[in-house]
Amino acid sequence: MPHKLDLGDLDASFSGRLLTDPSDLAPFLTDWRRKWTGRAQAVAQPDTTDDVAAIVRWCAARGVPMVPQGGNTSLSGGSVPDQSGAALVLSLVRLNRIRSVDPQNNTLVAEAGCLLSEVQRCAADAGRLFGLSLAAEGSCTIGGNLATNAGGTATLLYGNAREQCLGIEVVTPAGEVWNGLKALRKNNTGYDLRDIYIGAEGTLGVITAAVLRLHPKPGGRALGFVALESLPQANALLDISRNRVSNRLSAFELVSETCLGSVLRHHPAQRHPLARRYPWYALIEVSDVEGFEQASLALNRLLQDASERDIVCDGVIADSLGQVSALWALRENISEAQGREGPTIKHDIALPISSIPGFVESTMATIAQRWPSIRLFIFGHLGDGNLHYNASPAPGMDHTAFLMLEPELNQFVHDAVYAANGSISAEHGLGVLRREEAARYATPIELELQRAIKRALDPHNIMNPGKVIFPGFAGGSLS
């Protein structure tokens, strides 16, 4: 147990809330997936950027490690403290103002603790669209989205969180404020400090606010659900889609029959949209600024083209908002349905799109042979090369035995990912879940460059220690 600090002077140093009661702390100490529970000295909830700076200075002076936290929805354990009890959790949920909206510049400035759904709503109120969209949008914060460079279903059109951010405000580990809130699309006046902090998972400083890009609101969206015999067909359909509708293609999601079957099994109210089952399905969404009719026309034409070339076996185009929701629900309920099949081993991988068919075919074959009692749930954002390559126990398999396979299954899948020049963390970050693997797969020069950056910007390793590729604060010093 670390030395207990006198928190009274910390409490006096900022406006906002300081939580110290164990029952108040609890929700901040366990992650979203309930895989990690840590301990902390306290949870500080500052009201302003200056409050954040005051808290950080207080911690820096005492060597107290800090764990920045937004909506605590990390899937990789990135937002909870370790078990040493040394850390202060820096919860940014009260830093939740939209500072300004500039529709003519297509930007808004949001504080880190704004919910993603609130940012979306403010953009919509200004007649614009904020392009980041993901399952946790009602709970996650924009600060967390930027700290982890979140992805989601609209990445194909609008990019990751990184591409949707023009500028940021950061509190450094010394408690200084860097105001990088430039609402500019072109700016070459020195090093790209912004992108060093985006995706750094709070290990270099605390993002307190951001300038976000807005886009015109699509006038309408058309959604198709199609059947595919194989993954090469899925790639061929993606290719046709891009070439026919270009940047009106707003989603291209892949769903395996195993995934769809599980969703239908656990959600009896949902129905299979087609007359029979196929190995793979794709959800294709076309957005058009002019309206639904144009989007629908473009989608129809491209599917007709694909059908004439025997790429698509069967399909349906949503003809009502209700059907749009029903089709999207088939994709969105996969994670939840898979959770009902027992424990889950998840892989959030990215590959060059051209490599995906070969990768999936060869890894599925090996897994079927080596671990016949594992069922694979493969789905995700094929349009940007990001697959959720998940595993569940086959019916009847012992759950503990299944979970014992996790290290070797991870290694098998991730070795194959690296062999294909892919990524073992496409959109979920490293957190603690992938820290050791990421450090193992990184080349020596990659480790050296990252350590050099960390040493330069957080020399005392007090910002979110033990995350990304770095050792925990309690566990040792930064080498």
Contact set for a second copy, span 378-397 (CB under 8 A): 381, 384-386
Considering the rule CB under 8 A, would residue 478 count as an interface residue with a second copy?
no
The closest of 9, 34, 35, 11 to 21, measured between CA atoms, is 11
* Calpha distance 286→295 (Å, rounded): 6
CB of 358 to a second copy, least distance (A): 12
Alpha carbon 42 to its chain's center:
27
> Out of 424, 433, 462, 463, which residue is the one contacting a second copy (CB under 8 A)?
424
Q: Which is nearer to a second copy, 193 or 264 (CB)?
A: 193
- Residues 436-465 vs a second copy: string with x where CB under 8 A? --x--xxx-xx--xx-xxxxxx--------
CB of 191 to a second copy, least distance (A): 5
With 0-12 / 13-18 / 19 or more C-beta atoms within 10 angstroms meaning exposed / middle / buried, residue 190 is: exposed
Q: Which is nearer to a second copy, 155 or 392 (CB)?
A: 155
Please report, as residue ranges, which positions from 146 to 205 form the binding site for a second copy (by CB under 8 A). Answer: 148-149, 151, 155, 159-160, 162-163, 172, 176-193, 195-196, 198-200, 204
Give the end-to-end CA distance of the chain in Å, rounded to a whole number: 24
Considering CB under 8 A, how many residues would be counted as binding a second copy? Answer: 91
Considering the rule CB under 8 A, would residue 296 count as an interface residue with a second copy?
no
CB of 8 to a second copy, least distance (A): 30
> Out of 273, 429, 466, 472, which residue is the one contacting a second copy (CB under 8 A)?
429
Considering the rule CB under 8 A, would residue 233 count as an interface residue with a second copy?
no
CB atoms within 10 A of CB 448: 11
> Out of 86, 92, 231, 430, which residue is the one contacting a second copy (CB under 8 A)?
430
Its sign, for the CA torsion 225, 227, 233, 235, is: positive
**For residue 58, what are its two tokens?**
């207080």
Please report, as residue ranges, which positions from 304 to 343 form the binding site for a second copy (by CB under 8 A). Answer: none
Listed in sequence order, the residues at least 6 apart from 151 whose beta carbon sits closer than 8 Å to its beta carbon are 134, 160, 161, 381, 384, 386, 426, 427
Q: Which is nearer to a second copy, 239 or 314 (CB)?
A: 239
CB atoms within 10 A of CB 456: 10
Stretch that binds a second copy, among 1-9, 88-96, 101-109, 405-413 (CB under 8 A): 101-109
DSSP, collapsed to helix, strand or coil, labels residue 118 as helix
The residue whose two tokens read 């195993």 is 258
Alpha carbon 323 to its chain's center:
27
Q: Which is nearer to a second copy, 124 or 452 (CB)?
A: 452
Q: Which is nearer to a second copy, 7 or 177 (CB)?
A: 177
